[in-house]
Amino acid sequence: MISTVKLGSGRFTYQVDVGWEKLPPGYSWTDAAAVATDSKDRVYVFNRGDHPMIVFDSDGNFLSSWGEDVFTRAHGITRGPDDTLYCTDDGDHTVRQCTLDGKVLMTIGVPGKAAPLYSGEPFNRCTHVAIDPNSGDLYVSDGYGNARVHKFSPDGKHLFSWGAPGMEPGEFNIVHNIATDKDGYVYVADRESHRIQIFDSKGNYQTQWNNVHRPCALYISEDQHVYVGELGSAGPVNANHPNIGPRVSVMNTKGERLAAIGHMGFGADVGQFMAPHGICLDSKDSIYVGEVAYTNLRNMGEPADGVRSFQKLVKAA
């Protein structure tokens, strides 16, 4: 059901497709940590429930689930150019390349074994993957127990890394998400520094955007728009502060905000967000938003069972 509430502005005006996803009886996902679409607009929700990957067709009909005996804590998902999926498991300290039906093709990292805390070695609670559009190399943001970006060849060979804990350019305070544009620049969501840092393909710092509040999710569309999930407040002290999110901001590659989708503040009403954590678009420019609403509410000491953690936004008529 398409809501009457409109979010955003101009060409980036959306409405919520309420209840788009049709989960089978007994299925739930607690937190929908990340989401991806494939070349046929099937939707893959990487989540922290009993069925880590839940797959829908473009109309929201359930197709399948997989990953039940593979993943421990879903965090990031990225579609590769060959329609495979790179699934980042921050509880298992691994990145797995999978087919669309769940066959594991490659694992980077040692399952269940974290690198020493802030050692700079891969991985300690890695968070996401981006792909170099020119070479097919992989960038992995790492993460909660590290402050690094690692670059790998397409076959998983470690090439080099950059970053260190801190607040200076090229340093990170929770490197939470990563994306590349068509020119090969690397965008890194430096979440607790409230900025997005941009690097070239060799890890050289280029610039940063500071006008973002706890950037949590990144997605760069074919037309070079940067969709940023801003997580919003970190606790009760500023939970009701207006105009800091949670929301999805649309920016150009100059760092200029073109639209802010979600103006109604924190909450579960139609048009509100709780904790945008993963974003992707389909071929019709519909936006899919995975949220870690359960975790966010629990961290604030609030009851969280049954909270909504996934939304589809469609272009407003």
Q: Give the per-residue pLDDT at 298.
A: 86
CATH number at residue 192: 2.120.10.30
- E strands present in 67-185: 74-79, 85-89, 94-98, 104-108, 126-131, 138-142, 148-152, 158-162, 175-180
Q: Give the per-residue pLDDT at 276.
A: 97
Chain centroid to CA 43: 14
Exposure string of 140-164, with b = 16+ CB inside 10 Å and e = fewer, is bbbbbbbbbbbbbebeeeeeebbbe
Q: Give the per-residue pLDDT at 263.
A: 82
CA gap 300, 306 in Å, rounded:
16
Residues spanned by the domain of 237: 2-315
Which of 260-268's residues contact partners 24+ apart within 8 Å by CB, and which partners? 260/8, 260/9, 261/7, 261/8, 261/12, 261/14, 261/287, 261/313, 262/7, 263/7, 265/240, 266/232, 266/233, 266/239, 266/240, 268/293, 268/307, 268/308
Q: Which residues contact 42 (CB under 8 A, 6 or more apart)?
A: 55, 56, 57, 58, 63, 100
Q: Give the per-residue pLDDT at 239.
A: 79
Q: List, run by run, the mean pLDDT of 10-residue segments along the chain (317 residues).
A: 93 96 94 97 98 98 98 97 96 98 98 97 98 97 97 98 98 98 98 98 98 96 97 83 93 96 88 96 98 89 86 95
CA gap 276, 41 in Å, rounded:
21
Domains in the chain: how many in total?
A: 1
Cα atoms found within 13 Å of the Cα of residue 315, Cβ hemisphere only: 10
Query: Per the omega criterion (within 30 degrees of 0), is the bond before 310 cis?
Result: no
Q: Give the per-residue pLDDT at 74.
A: 98
pTM of structure: 0.97
Q: Give the per-residue pLDDT at 237.
A: 83
